Amino acid sequence: MKILHTSDWHLGRSLYGRKRYDESLAFLDWLADLIESEGVDALLVAGDIFDTSTPSNRAQELYYRFLCRVSASCCRQIVVIAGNHDSPSFLNAPKELLRAINVYVVGSISENPEAEVITLSDPANIVQAIACAVPYLRDRDIRTVEAGETVADKNIKLMKGVQKHYAEVCEVAEKRQAEYGDIPIIGMGHLFTTGGKTVDGDGVRELYVGSLAHVGEDIFPACIDYLALGHLHVPQKVGKSEHFRYCGSPIPMGYGEAAQEKSVVLVEFDGRTPQVNEHPIPCFQILERISGGIDKISARIDELKSESSNAWLEIEYTGEELVGNLQELMDEAIADTEMEIRKINNRRVIERIINQSDKAETLDDLDVNDVFTRCLDSHEVAEDERPELIRSYQEIIQSLQEEDLNE
């Protein structure tokens, strides 16, 4: 059996206000073509299908259009789990309808772990593999809150909760394996493992507030022959395990990922032994960060113009002279081209403002934790009083992030 592992599509995502539907459409069309050319039997999508829990009509159209196309191809099953960006109830709403075209959606955990165990068959309807489709495990799904518990207590509960849930689901899978024969068990998940690599600006959130240690590879049951993970946008192995993988996001989430080679993972089983190969994804939209003085920036823009580039640019001016009309100069430089300037950082203007004010931040430069820190500073809260306030604030933020607006 040949499976394809992908995740973190983030349909509907914006980059400095610019929607990225065209890139997403190009990726999904490319992915459908790859599935057909490689003769993929099953597609696994490991969470974060959408960028928000309330996706736009256009984002939904891309999703359902893709599912319809692939379900009519050689790909006999599609398994979709929710990520931390997804709404469990939104993904689950059409699951019974989607099952008619062999699309299996697991938006949230249930009391019965059998709901997360899916059999994968070949064209002759002979079961070839078993998928443990574990969605993003929300804090409230795996941990009960008790008065007076410490951060360490919370961490222990979180790790035990994740481990217990995978053990229960895999126990069901092993029973089915005994029924169908010595076939592979494929795990799925959307979480942050110990040692995972991230990139600045990729939008990857800490999943559990106060968690000092991420999930270790040893919490996954030994019966898993391949583990298809989502959440981290950098393609990577989990620890030293060749068969535990993050495939990464298909398009760069920001300029920090611009030079990164994106990929999906093709897995072919010889018995229960997986043959794992990363398949590179083409770049559908060039992102380029240009930094330097006016001459250097202009020279690079001229090079891109000579290449008829359609790059989206992030420009950082670091020259010595103060240039007050930088935006106008850059707009003129790319006039009559297909390039777009998504952001300009004028270091000299910022430094001038810093000399007039202690703070140069705008809300665009701060995350929710930075804003709260500024609030504590402005109210002159003592250092020894801050840790508990910060923990309480982070728990509120996490509950807001996990709130399912579609329920």
191 found inside a domain = yes
Query: Do the Cβ atoms of 108 and 84 come closer than 8 Å?
Result: no
How many domains are there within the chain? 2
Give the pairing type, strands 273-280 and 127-133. Answer: unpaired
- Segments of 82-223 assigned E as strands: 103-106, 117-121, 127-133, 185-190
Q: Is residue 148 part of a domain?
A: yes
Of 44 and 213, the one with more pLDDT: 44
- Pair of tokens at residue 386: 């801050």
So what's the pLDDT on residue 270? Answer: 87
User: What is the enclosing helix (H) or strand (E) of 63?
Assistant: helix 57-71
- 354 in Cβ contact with 365 (< 8 Å): no
Given strand 77-81, what is the order of strands in its sheet?
A: 103-106, 77-81, 42-46, 2-6, 263-270, 273-280
Rounded CA-CA distance 253/201 in Å is 8
The residue-averaged pLDDT of 109-129 equals 91
Task: Give residue-wise pLDDT tens across range 4-16.
Answer: 999 999 999 999 8
Same domain, 136 and 161: yes
| Whether residue 97 sits in one domain with residue 20 | yes
* pLDDT tops 70 at residue 205: no
C-alpha–C-alpha distance, residues 88 and 47, integer Å: 11
Any domain includes 265:
yes
pLDDT top residue among 141 and 246: 246
Range of the domain at 226: 2-280
Residues 173 and 319 in one domain: no
Q: What is the pLDDT of residue 212?
A: 38
Q: Provide the pLDDT for residue 211.
A: 44
**In a shared domain, residues 270 and 297:** no
Segment 141-196, tens digit of pLDDT: 777 666 666 767 777 788 888 899 999 999 999 999 999 989 999 999 999 887 66
Q: Which of 255, 280, 305 is the last residue of a domain?
A: 280
In terms of domains, do 273 and 293 share one?
no
Instruction: Report the mean per-residue pLDDT for the chain.
Output: 86
CB 183 within 8 Å of CB 130: yes
DSSP-assigned beta bridge partners for residue 19: 14
In angstroms, what is the C-alpha Rg of the chain?
23
Sign of CA dihedral 82, 66, 250, 317: negative
Pairwise pLDDT comparison (71 vs 347), residue with the higher score: 71
Quick one: average pLDDT of 43-72? Answer: 96
Conformation bin of residue 148: beta by default, left when phi > 0, alpha when psi is -120 to 50 = left
CATH of the domain at 186: 3.60.21.10
Same domain, 267 and 302: no
Same domain, 308 and 395: yes
Q: Please check whether residues 221 and 298 belong to one and the same domain.
A: no
How confident is residue 380, by pLDDT bands cut at 50, 70 and 90?
confident
Percentages helix, strand, coil for the chain (3-state, rounded to 5) are: 35, 25, 40
CATH number for the domain that contains residue 362? 3.30.160.720
Residues 330 and 243 in one domain: no
Q: Are residues 199 and 339 in the same domain?
A: no
More confident residue, 218 or 166: 166
Mean pLDDT of 331-360: 74
Where b means 16+ CB within 10 Å and e means fewer, 124-150 reads eeebbbbbbbbbbbbbebbbeeeeeee
Please state, in angstroms and as integers, the Cα–Cα distance from residue 334 to each residue in 253, 254, 302, following that order: 23, 21, 9
Which of 280, 311, 332 is where one domain is finished? Answer: 280
Q: Is the pLDDT of residue 213 over 60?
A: no
Residues 321 and 242 in one domain: no
The pLDDT tens digits for 267-293 are 999 889 999 999 999 999 999 999 998
Whole-number pLDDT of residue 371: 79
216 & 106 share domain? yes
Residue 366 lies in a domain: yes
| Token pair recorded at residue 312 | 């989206």
pLDDT (mean) for 320-341: 88
pTM of the predicted protein model:
0.83
- Give the span between the Cα atoms of 90 and 4, in whole angstroms: 24
Query: What is the structure's pLDDT at 210?
Result: 42
Structural domain contains residue 407:
no
Q: Are 2 and 39 in contact (CB under 8 A)?
A: yes
In a domain, 360, yes or no: yes
pLDDT in tens, 126-142: 899 999 999 999 877 77
Contacts 24+ apart (CB under 8 A), 123-126: 123/76
Task: Tell me how far apart the alpha carbons of residues 192 and 214 are, in angstroms, rounded to a whole number.
Answer: 6
Domain stops at, among 256, 280, 304: 280
> Is 33 contained in some domain?
yes
Q: Is the pLDDT of residue 87 over 80?
A: yes
Higher-pLDDT residue of 206 and 32 is: 32
> Is the confidence at residue 338, as pLDDT, over 90?
yes
